[in-house]
Amino acid sequence: MKKGIYFVMVVCLMLLVSAGFVEATVITSLPYTITKSGLYTIDANLRSSGHGIIVNANNVTIDLNGYTISGNKTGFYHGVYMNGRSNVEIRDGTIRDFGAYGIYEESVLSGNSHRIINVRVVKNKFGGIELRGSNHIVKDCSASYNGGSGIYAGTGSTVNGNAAYNNELRGFVADNSSTVSGNTACTNGSFGIYANIGSTVNGNTANGNGGCGIYAKSGSMVSGNSACNNGGSGIYADLGSSIKNNTAYNNQIYGIDLSGYSLVDGNTAYSNNQIGGSFSNVSPCETCVFGINVAP
């Protein structure tokens, strides 16, 4: 009889866990160090004179629950700090005013598979979100007024549906083989979006940035983007890239600026300032150009 009751209790517990009814650890003060996997949350705005949250475990979820964690703008301190962690999710809140990064994964080699969802990072001195390593997801976030770049994600990452504006350097930086889609980059000090080798850059808007609106390194696919009023070219794509169905206008240099061995199809460029009017600059080395509309 007792064995039967125990079995029922175990089954019920397993069902609760699988259904998402997992008790959260509430963080009540900062700085706070996480040493065990699990779900963590806050239930008030919290402030720290050092790091905010240090994550020393894998498989962690931090639910900010709509609240804000903030620093005092001094010292090399991060809002959330990780070094060689994997599978950490941070969601639903604001991280601001730290002396270094809002969210920082330090390890290039072993930091992987983090998810940052619906988080605002504001006025952090070195940058908003800096995820070194690989295979991260940054989704539905905003990065504004940070001292460096707004959002950086390492190799093979997905950066989707975010906004980056008024950051001192670049709005978005994505390393090799990443996907950057549906983002908005406005009035950042340098490039709006910088995507490294072999990346996919699709459906983004880059307006009013100090450098190029979109800068894609070699072998990238750049499609369906809009770039206007940028201080450099609207779109620059390096060797061997595919540039399709983009629009670039009112940029200070070229509308679309390409290196050789690229495919260019169905783009529109007008009212850009190079050589007194609209211009699409294409290197002559084996570049195939189809259906580009260069208007006065």
Angle at 182 between CA 263 and CA 229, to 5 degrees: 75
Q: Which of 252, 202, 207, 256 is nearest to 228 (CA)?
A: 207
Joined together, the tokens standing for residue 102 give 């809002």
Q: Which residues of 210-232 are buried (b: 16+ CB within 10 A; e: fewer)?
A: bbbbbbbbbbbbbbebbbbbbbb
Mean pLDDT of 260-287: 67
For residue 71, the tally of other CB atoms under 10 A from its CB is 27
- Residue 181 CA to residue 234 CA, distance in Å, equals 17
- Residue 252 CA to residue 246 CA, distance in Å, equals 17
- Cβ–Cβ under 8 Å, residues 102 and 129: yes
Q: Strands across the sheet with 172-174, in order? A: 32-34, 53-55, 80-82, 101-105, 127-134, 149-155, 172-174, 193-195, 214-216, 235-237, 256-258, 280-282
pLDDT at 8 over 90: no
pLDDT of the residue at 279: 46
pLDDT at 290 over 60: no
- Residue 106 CA to residue 293 CA, distance in Å, equals 44
Q: Provide the percentage of residues in the chain whose pLDDT is more than 90.
A: 80
Strand partners, 158: 137, 179
- Among 17-21, 30-34, 152-156, 254-258, the minimum mean pLDDT is found in 17-21
Mean pLDDT of 89-109: 99
Helix (H, G, I), strand (E, B) or coil at 268: strand
- Look-up: residue for tokens 């609209």? 278
On whether the 24-295 domain is CATH 2.160.20.10, my answer is yes
- Among 53-62, 99-108, 183-192, 280-289, the minimum mean pLDDT is found in 280-289
CA 105 to the chain's CA centroid: 13
- Cβ–Cβ under 8 Å, residues 246 and 220: no
The average confidence (pLDDT) of the chain is 90
DSSP assignment, residue 98?
Answer: -
pLDDT of the residue at 291: 40
- Among 141-155, 168-182, 226-240, 281-295, the minimum mean pLDDT is found in 281-295
Joined together, the tokens standing for residue 228 give 């206007």
- Residue 155 CA to residue 158 CA, distance in Å, equals 9
Domain edges within the chain: 24-295
pLDDT of the residue at 6: 46
3 state SS for 21-81: CCCCEEECCCCEEECCCEEEEECCCEECCCCCEEECCCCEEEECCCCEEECCCCCCCCCEE
Q: Which of 56, 180, 164, 71 is nearest to 107 (CA)?
A: 56
H helix or E strand, kind and range, residue 277: none
pLDDT at 275 over 50: no
Q: Which of 219, 255, 218 is nearest to 235 (CA)?
A: 255
Residues 6 or more apart whose CB falls under 8 angstroms from that of 293 comprise 267, 268, 269, 270
- Residue 202 CA to residue 10 CA, distance in Å, equals 47
CA 67 to the chain's CA centroid: 21
